[in-house]
Structure 1
Amino acid sequence: MGRARLLAVLAMVAVAGFLTTLDNTVINVALPTVQRELGLSVTDLEWVATSYVLSFGALLLLGGRLADLLGRRRALAAGLTVFTLSSAAAALAGSGAQLIAARAVQGAGAALVIPASLAVVAADLPAARRATAIGLWTSALALALASGPAVGGLLTQHGDWTWVFLLNVPFGVLALLLVPAVPPRERRAPSPRGRLDLPGTLLSSLALLLLTYGLVEGGEHGFRAAPVPLCLGLAAALTLAFGYAESRAAAPLVTPGLLRDRALSGGAVAQILWGIGVNGVFFFTALYLQRVLGFTPTGAGLAFLPLALALLLATPFAERAAAALGAHVSMALGLAAVAAGLLLVSTAGLGASYADLQPGLLLIGAGSALTTPMTVRAVAQVPASDTGTASGLLSAAREISGVLGVVLVGAVLARRERAALGAGTHPDRAFLDGYHAGLRIAALCVLLGAVVTWFAFRRRGRHRRPARRVLAGARPSVPYKSGGPNTRPTSRR
């Protein structure tokens, strides 16, 4: 791959990751203005905020499989086209129903873009450039999470709420123009894996939809409020049905070999635990900055930019640390640093300043940078024909972790806050007590992620291949069965 083509692919991956993540949070600050101008009810407003997350989370696994079936370039082009057009439709919406529908379609487009872009990094880029690409992609996601409230506040305050969505259009077009730099799909012989597993697709999409909806509603209204218990129960039942259907399918959506891969399954669990902590700190620290310290929405968003900068600057050293210490050691240390950063942030009090928060936030950014090799290593031994599905699994884990982080930290925060208020504590102090307790729980989750990472990525046995050969795409020493007992392992170019 030439230098110009490589730079185009890197730019496309970063822009795609930034745009699709930004839409998770950029609308939140603009919601009061949207409610006033479109005459929406509180329920309508909740659907505007959550419809994107619901469709995004529910369709990620399908998006990953379509990237394998259609080819990564086609999936990216289709996803970016859907995302860009639906962003324009959201900006032009004249009613709540139109806006909610456009947001849901945006999420569907993003569910195609994210797994396909990760699969491009894992399967199409030179091994020496994969860590750089993942670092850029992770930094883009962190920057989007950090700047979402600030961007939304600036656009709403100095312009119009429609610019929250119109902003996506030129960048979406730019990403589309860069898609041809992705290598074309390789020609393969027909196989039973070359068709879509419709029962598995339906069951997995419904399970993810109900799980995401139940978590969002549970975090907002409580887990005993209807229909949260029903949604979570149905999600569990559909997950069991999905597992049974996949075990009997001729062309399963997720092959059993994927789930048995220790690095992939361990990486997905570690992604969830890391996401719980990081998403929790983003969401509730923004509330703390505004509610307790009196920051404006724009100022609260800008407070996170040094975190994104630390992540970006530390990422080039992640692969060096993995080579020197072993990937399982360096990534586990990175997660431990994130946990330490969360604990530092939890020490900020009522009179904290901008500078008081930065040591903890910078540690979170630098620690997260050390975990960036995880995505490539999690899919290193997955055949090229399944990289989209594997990326979809990792993306679904990360998306669910974002909801879980807000729900878990929020539940701990609310419980401690209610107890403190009942004891006569000042509201600001009561919120702070709950916020600190929530961050400590988040830190514990991330620390558990460090333990999972240590064991999931630790090389076992003297015949285990070195990481460099894995990253270069060498064939696994143990055959990987993706389509049945007679299927040969697929080698990667």
Structure 2
Amino acid sequence: MDRVRTLPIMLGIAVTGFITTLDNTVVNVALPSVQRALGLDLPDLEWVGTSYVLSFGALLLAGGRLADLLSCRPVLIAGLTVFTAASVAGGLAANSPTLIAARTVQGAGAALVIPATLAVITGQLPAARRSLAVGLWTGALAVALALGPVLGGFITERWGWRWVFFLNVPFGVLGLLLAGAVPAAVRRPGLSALRRLDVPGVVLSSAALWLLAYGLLEGGAHGFTRWPVPQCLFAAALAGRLFVALEIRRAAPLLELGLFRDRLLSGGTAAQVLWGIGVNGVFFFTTLYLQQVLGFSATKAGLAFLPLALALLALTPFAERLCAAWGAHRVIAAGLVLVAWGLVQVSATGLRTSYLGLQPGLLLIGAGSALTTPLTVRSLASVPASRNGMASGVVSAAREISGVFGIALVGVVLTHTRSAELAAGSDPLTAFLDGYAAGLRLAAGCVLCGALVTFLALRHRAPAVPEGRTVGDSLSLK
């Protein structure tokens, strides 16, 4: 692929990663304004906040399979079109059902975009550019997570909450223009390819992922014994079991379970989940800590994460070179150790720290995350090209669910510790801080487990395969 085509594809990868991640955080700051403008009660407001991530996580496997059946380009264009149109609908919404529906459709569009984007990276770009592309994509995710609260607060204060949704439109249009640089499939599949889509598998996997995400979100917010949280988690487990039983018997399954015999994919996916638990936990709960304990404004709280994002962007280009020199298993595991160290540092910042006092821990998280950016490409290195989208959907779904699980896990520890401290007579700020610190230390432990998994899973070179059969045929896994 020539440089003229590679550059817009790389930019498009960054744009799609940015806008789909931005919607995870940018809306949260605007929720009080949405509540006042539309007269929403608390349950409706919670649905506005969570409907995006629920549909996003639930449909990622289906999005990945569609990228395999129809090729990356049409799925990417369709996903960006749906996402952008739903953003316009959200900005124009006059009541809660319309807004919740728009957020749900936004998530469905994002579930098409992300697996198709990863499939473009691993299947369309030259091998020498893949890790840089993943680094750009990961950096765009970090910037979106860091800037989401800042942009949400700034836009809501100056132009109103509707512009939080309209903000997606120019980025969506730019993404559609850049998607034209993605090469079309050599053999263009017709709509008849959709007949091979495993519809029962889509229904069961979507139900399992949706119920799991909803159960974790509600459990983290209200407790895991409160109805309907246990029922949702049980139903998720049942749907997941039925999905596995179905996929074993299908001739053309939505997810080939045999892919998980590949140690790179299974180990890399597990490591991404453990990394996601830590990073999402620190983003979500540190924002609360900065505002509720330290008294930062929403804008200043968002700016606290900006050095982290800049460190990630600055160091990402060096990650692949370090992997080539020292071995991917060592470099990525070291990155996860740095993330865990940063989480411990952040957990110890205390009641009277300053903006600068936060930065050592946050910078360790950013630098460590930069070293982990080759993990996605390495996880997919031995996957057959015909299953590129399927495997990308697995990695994407695991990462999205890990974010929900991280928030729920840290939230449970925080709530339990805070309740115990309050019962013992501690003041509310000290109780919150003790719970917050305990939750981040647990998240650090999960990330350390990810470092061990990475070191073991990636320590051998990927097996040699025929040219064109896999997406990672030129990647060394020393």
Q: Paired residue for 2:384?
A: 383
Cα distance, 1:465 vs structure 2: 4.5
Q: Paired residue for 2:418?
A: 417
Whether the 8 Å contact between 1:66 and 1:75 is mirrored in structure 2 is yes
Structure 1 range deviating more: 187-196 or 333-342: 187-196
Q: Paired residue for 2:62?
A: 62
In 1: Cα distance, 2:143 partner to 2:458 partner? 27
Whether the 8 Å contact between 2:69 and 2:193 is mirrored in structure 1 is no
Structure 1 range deviating more: 194-203 or 242-251: 194-203
Distance 1:217 1:50, change over 3 A: same
Q: Paired residue for 1:255?
A: 256
In 2: Cα distance, 1:49 partner to 1:455 partner? 38
Which letter maps to 1:447?
A: L
* Matched ranges for 1:138-153 at <5 A: 138-153=138-153
Cα distance, 1:204 vs structure 2: 0.6
TM-score by length of 2: 0.96
Whether the 8 Å contact between 2:52 and 2:104 is mirrored in structure 1 is yes
In 2: Cα distance, 1:244 partner to 1:193 partner? 22
Cα distance, 1:183 vs structure 2: 1.1
What do the CA deviations read for 1:46-100 (whole angstroms, capped 9, x no partner)? 1100110110010000000011111100000000000000000000000000000
In 1: Cα distance, 2:145 partner to 2:84 partner? 19
SS in structure 1 of the partner of residue 59 of structure 2: helix
Whether the 8 Å contact between 1:69 and 1:194 is mirrored in structure 2 is no
Whether the 8 Å contact between 1:63 and 1:116 is mirrored in structure 2 is yes
In 1: Cα distance, 2:449 partner to 2:362 partner? 20
SS in structure 1 of the partner of residue 29 of structure 2: coil
Q: Paired residue for 1:474?
A: 473
In 1: Cα distance, 2:394 partner to 2:8 partner? 26
In 1: Cα distance, 2:366 partner to 2:175 partner? 26
Whether the 8 Å contact between 1:377 and 1:471 is mirrored in structure 2 is no
In 1: Cα distance, 2:177 partner to 2:188 partner? 27
Which letter maps to 1:43?
A: P
* Matched ranges for 1:176-325 at <5 A: 176-187=176-187, 195-325=196-326
What do the CA deviations read for 1:300-339 (whole angstroms, capped 9, x no partner)? 0011000000001110110111111111111001101100
Distance 1:201 1:470, change over 3 A: closer
Q: Does the alignment pair 1:127 with 2:141?
A: no
Whether the 8 Å contact between 2:76 and 2:179 is mirrored in structure 1 is yes
Whether the 8 Å contact between 2:18 and 2:144 is mirrored in structure 1 is yes
Q: Please, what is the CA RMSD of the aligned residues?
A: 2.0
Q: Paired residue for 1:483?
A: none
Distance 1:475 1:121, change over 3 A: closer
Q: Paired residue for 2:6?
A: 6
Q: Paired residue for 1:335?
A: 336
In 2: Cα distance, 1:80 partner to 1:424 partner? 52
Cα distance, 1:188 vs structure 2: 8.0
Which letter maps to 1:21?
A: T
What do the CA deviations read for 1:386-419 (whole angstroms, capped 9, x no partner)? 1111010000000001101111111111111111
In 1: Cα distance, 2:219 partner to 2:428 partner? 23
In 2: Cα distance, 1:472 partner to 1:230 partner? 40
The gaps in structure 2 that reach 5 residues or longer are: none
Cα distance, 1:257 vs structure 2: 2.6
Cα distance, 1:473 vs structure 2: 4.1
Query: What is the percentage of aligned positions where both structures have the same residue?
Result: 64
Count of residues in Structure 1 that have an aligned counterpart in Structure 2: 473
Whether the 8 Å contact between 2:377 and 2:472 is mirrored in structure 1 is no
What do the CA deviations read for 1:100-145 (whole angstroms, capped 9, x no partner)? 0000000000000000001100110000011110000000001111
In 1: Cα distance, 2:193 partner to 2:183 partner? 24
Cα distance, 1:187 vs structure 2: 1.9
Distance 1:251 1:475, change over 3 A: farther
Cα distance, 1:233 vs structure 2: 0.5
Which letter maps to 2:342?
A: G
* Matched ranges for 1:322-471 at <5 A: 322-459=323-460, 464-465=463-464
